[in-house]
Structure formats: structure tokens, C-alpha cells
Amino acid sequence: MSHQRHFTPRRWVRHGDLQTLVGNFLKRGAEPPESEAVYIQTEPETQVLCQCNWQPAAAEAPLAILLHGLEGSSASQYMRGNAAKLWDAGWSVIRMNMRNCGGTENLTPTLYHSGLSVDMLEVMRWAIRTHGVRSISLIGYSMGGNIVLKLAGELGSSMPELAGVVGVSPAMDLGPSADKLHEGRNRVYEWKFLRGLLARYQRKCELFPKIYDPARVKNIRSIRDFDERITGPYSGFTGADDYYHRAAAARVLDRIAVPTLILHAADDPFIRVTRQTRSVMAANPHLTFVETAHGGHCAFLADRTASYDGYWAEHTTLAFLTGHVRVPAPVPQEAHAG
């Protein structure tokens, strides 16, 4: 059964907060096959961990590179569920960890942030160089959605291997979204993110005591505080505002030159899409912006049936990409990791 073209939220899980929370914790039935862990150098002294599943004819199969959101990893439920669908449809899949994520804080002296499109670009180049891949699609969630859209804008039409891009609940307007995260009941989400960021920063202080000052975290009470005192100064920005401006995909959406799908729910608790960004998207014929009334943040849970698991965004992502990317008939052999 094909998924519904228009999203209807799952009964009893209509509200954006419920969609977000249930979508985050609900276990997936489908799992990708066992993957090959590969460490890829993206900058001097920096490696990222990628979980790779290669189809038997890796050079012929399209490749999807998946990127998680803030404080997520390659093991996040949405990463695993989407990877399983893509694999079953004949795609090779890389579930990429942002630098420092997935237990890799020791693999770089730097922090991670929403502007690090260079890491995904280097993973793309690695796949082309080592496996002869000729067709690559990028899929990013939330913070990862901002990164894949930013990279697509930076590349324009300069990389022929880039075939398509999907951003699910992408944080394209970083400043407004960070400020919304600090409002009202969204503080619950903010505190969850902040706890993870502070714990990760403490780990970096222990690993690289000559670089990081543990006293900087004193009185940090918001994501904006963290970005003003930690992310900005240690990542080459003058502060939070400079970071939010320079790292935002919204600045380069007009330069995207490949088929791109952006999924956003109007009831997303904390991601905001400004009027200016909406105008830019509407003016770019390569962009398809789908805004549903419900769906929460990176959830989009629809009713399940015997043949449909209800993960609407994942099915919509696959349908969009297969509409633009040729997928060869799968080779009949046992699935393997590499």
C-alpha cells in the first residue's frame, strides 16, 4: 500500500507536542541490516563516524546520506527507520554522525554546529572516491536538515553527483527557532537539548583542557546562551547572532539547483520559518515546500495499517527521491553491510 499523499495525523496523537514526543520515543519495527562503521576525515584532526550499508553494485545504486538533528546520532530512531526503507528500495545508505556525536568527542578538538556543511561534503567526496558512486541524495532532520540545505545551496549545480535533497523539519531560520525554543512550555525541549550540550562540553573540557574552559558554562540557561558563550567563540563566530546568520540555510536557499523537498508542520513546537524564507522558497522552482497542519517536530505520525507503518515523512521522502533518481533493479542476494 502506498502512503497517503496528504498527511492526516494519527488518531489520539494530533497535537504537535504529542506528535513530537511519541515520534521521538516510539520504537520502529523495521531496522537496516548490520552496518559497516567507517571513520572519515573531514578536516585536519577531525573525523566523523559513518554507518554504511552498500548495495552489491555500489557504483550503480543511488546513495542516500542521512544526517540527524541536535544531540542525535546515527542510532536515532528516525535515522534507522528511514535507512531501512531506503535499503529495501535498493539504495545504499550512510547514516552520518555529526562530529562529536555517536561517542566521537575524542576524534576532533572542535565542537559541532549547524553550519558544518563541510563534513557532509567530505563524506560525499569519500563515497565518490572509494565506491564510484554517481548519484547521491541528502536527507537531514532538524539541525541536520539545515546542514543539507545549506550544502545544497553552497554547491548549486557544481556537483553533478548530487541528485536530490530532503529536509525534514529543518531549522533553516536558526535565530527565530532558537528564540522560540526558549518560550513557554518549549523550555522542556530546550532543557533536554541543553543538558546534552552541557554534558558534551564537559567531556570536551576533559579531553582538551588546553582548549576549553569549563567556567564558561556558568549561568547558561538557554540554547542562545550556549551559542553566545560556547558555540560562537569556539567555532569562529563573534556570538550567537553571527552564528545564526552565517550558519542558516535560509541565506542560500535561492541557490539550490537540484530537486529539493522541505517538510514542515505548522504545529512544530519550536521550528519557525520566516516570511522572507517562505518567499525565497516560493521563488525557487527546484524547491518543493510542504507545510502540513499537524505533524510536530520530525514526527508526522499517521494511522497504521497492516501494510503501512504510518511514518508519513519517511514514505514521502522515499517517494520524492525515487521520482527524481533512477534506482536499478536489486541484485537478488543476501543483504550485507559492505
pLDDT band at 182 (very low <50, low <70, confident <90, very high): very high
Phi, psi (5° rounding) for residue 84? -65, -45
The residue out of 194, 220, 247 marking a domain boundary is 247
The answer to whether position 316 is within a domain reads: yes
Cell numbers 501494510 correspond to 307
Q: Within this chain, do residues 36 and 155 fall inside the same structural domain, yes or no?
A: yes
The answer to whether position 4 is within a domain reads: no
Q: Within this chain, do residues 268 and 302 fall inside the same structural domain, yes or no?
A: yes
Q: For 300-309, what is each residue's pLDDT tens digit? A: 999 988 888 9
Cβ neighbors of 336 (< 8 A, separation 6 or more) are 33, 34, 56
pLDDT score, position 329: 60
The residue out of 215, 247, 279 marking a domain boundary is 247
Q: Within this chain, do residues 313 and 216 fall inside the same structural domain, yes or no?
A: no
Q: Which segment of 111-120, 241-250, 329-338 scores lowest on mean pLDDT?
A: 329-338
The answer to whether position 5 is within a domain reads: no
> Is the separation of the CB atoms in 258 and 164 below 8 Å?
yes
52 grid coordinates: 554504511
For 158, other C-beta atoms within 10 Å of its C-beta total 8
Q: Within this chain, do residues 213 and 289 fall inside the same structural domain, yes or no?
A: no
The residue out of 208, 225, 247 marking a domain boundary is 247
CA proximity to 114, closest of 133, 91, 142? 142
The answer to whether position 194 is within a domain reads: yes
Percent of the chain with pLDDT over 70: 95
Asked whether residue 223 carries a pLDDT value surpassing 50, the answer given is yes
pLDDT score, position 12: 87
Q: Within this chain, do residues 41 and 153 fall inside the same structural domain, yes or no?
A: yes
Q: Within this chain, do residues 233 and 267 fall inside the same structural domain, yes or no?
A: no
pLDDT band at 167 (very low <50, low <70, confident <90, very high): very high
How many structural domains does the chain have? 2
Strand partners, 52: 36, 94
Q: Within this chain, do residues 119 and 81 fall inside the same structural domain, yes or no?
A: yes
Q: Within this chain, do residues 58 and 132 fall inside the same structural domain, yes or no?
A: yes
Averaged pLDDT score across all residues of the chain: 93
The answer to whether position 73 is within a domain reads: yes
The answer to whether position 23 is within a domain reads: yes
Q: Within this chain, do residues 257 and 119 fall inside the same structural domain, yes or no?
A: yes
Q: For 235-259, what is each residue's pLDDT tens digit? A: 999 999 999 999 999 999 999 999 9
CA 43 vs. chain centroid, Å, equals 20
| Pairing of the two strands 92-96 and 46-53 | antiparallel
Q: Residue 100: which domain range? A: 16-173+248-322
Cell numbers 514542515 correspond to 264
CA proximity to 246, closest of 273, 227, 226? 227
Phi, psi (5° rounding) for residue 306? -65, -25
Q: Within this chain, do residues 65 and 184 fall inside the same structural domain, yes or no?
A: no
How far apart (Å, rounded) are the C-alpha atoms in residues 13 and 188? Answer: 19
pLDDT score, position 4: 56
Residue 22, domain CATH: 3.40.50.1820
The answer to whether position 86 is within a domain reads: yes
Q: Within this chain, do residues 96 and 222 fall inside the same structural domain, yes or no?
A: no
Cell numbers 525565497 correspond to 280
Burial of 275 (0-12, 13-18, 19+ CB in 10 A): exposed
